[in-house]
Copies of this chain bind each other. A is one copy, B any other.
């Protein structure tokens, strides 16, 4: 059975790395509703997802600490006294990880290790949830992709995220620092970065749509993808944190209404009441790191934690468009 989240989080202290970013800020808002004492940590690196406006609804109810997860000393201080650590900070751009592999390594790999070392030394009883990515599977051999699929990353980002998740699992297994890994698929919704495609291609699609510009679909548009509305991802993060049965586990997220990118583009245009897109060949730098078709088998998290996505794609996209039309000036 699924846990009662209010009981789990009321009065509890939660630290969110990347807490001013897309998923982190939505999680912070939900944790405040559940009565948790929330501290968000974010580096506000301009090319990443952090945005102070993201926590506008809760700005007086949380603590905001600007620092970088690569800063071992600030992290060693901040983890102290926390009950939960939602470890969401990361470099997310696949392309950037190829152009500047060291920065990706420092953030997605080395900083994860230093966060875990900080927990081991300062607070070994806290519970960690790590946001990993379906990118680590690489080009799927079969669909839907379950957690037993081989991990064969196609870019540096996928490799470093793979290392990051295993640091968490090894610290769980060797030191008993409770940790769970969620492998997220495409997440979308309010508070995502829409300036460019660094966080998700849906960001730039929505930006262009609202700007009445055609957006670009790479390849032939036939690639299959699954999408989670951010509130569903927040649910999964909370369940993984609250439920002891998750400890040491790896769980895919996913959705039943996967579709082709072309169908997604048409759906967006329809929901927006207008707009256009162009099917263009893959840019040279993106083609070798594309993963082809992907959608997840997420039955494991259904079975173990009772999670399933609740917001259908059509509804989630509609809510997302409304959010950006309303708060446009804070995101572009």
Contacts and interface: CB of A to CB of B under 8 A. Distances in A.
Interface of A: 98, 101-102, 105, 109-110, 113-114, 117, 148, 150-156, 158-160, 162-163, 166-167, 169-170, 173-174, 288-289
20 contacts: A98-B174, A101-B113, A101-B117, A105-B113, A109-B109, A109-B163, A148-B150, A150-B150, A150-B151, A153-B166, A154-B173, A154-B174, A155-B170, A156-B167, A156-B170, A158-B166, A159-B167, A162-B162, A162-B166, A174-B288
A170 B97 CA distance: 12
B159 A170 contact: yes
B110 A105 contact: yes
A282 to B, nearest CB: 13
Contacts of A98: 174
Contact of A156 (B113, B158, B289): B113
A110 B111 CA distance: 13
A105 B101 contact: no
A151 B250 CA distance: 13
A174 B101 CA distance: 13
Contacts of A173: 154, 288
A148 B105 CA distance: 26
A109 B98 CA distance: 15
A134 to B, nearest CB: 16
Contacts of A174: 98, 154-155, 288-289
B117 A113 contact: no
B105 A109 contact: yes
Nearest to A102: B113
Nearest to A155: B170
Contacts of A110: 102, 105, 110
A156 B101 CA distance: 20
Given A154-B173, A156-B167, A162-B163, 13 more contacts: A102-B110, A102-B113, A105-B113, A110-B110, A148-B150, A150-B150, A151-B151, A153-B166, A153-B170, A156-B170, A159-B163, A160-B163, A174-B288
Nearest to A141: B148
A148 to B, nearest CB: 7
Nearest to A171: B156
Nearest to A139: B173
Nearest to A72: B102
Contacts of A148: 150
Nearest to A164: B159
Contacts of A166: 152-153, 158-159, 162
A62 to B, nearest CB: 31
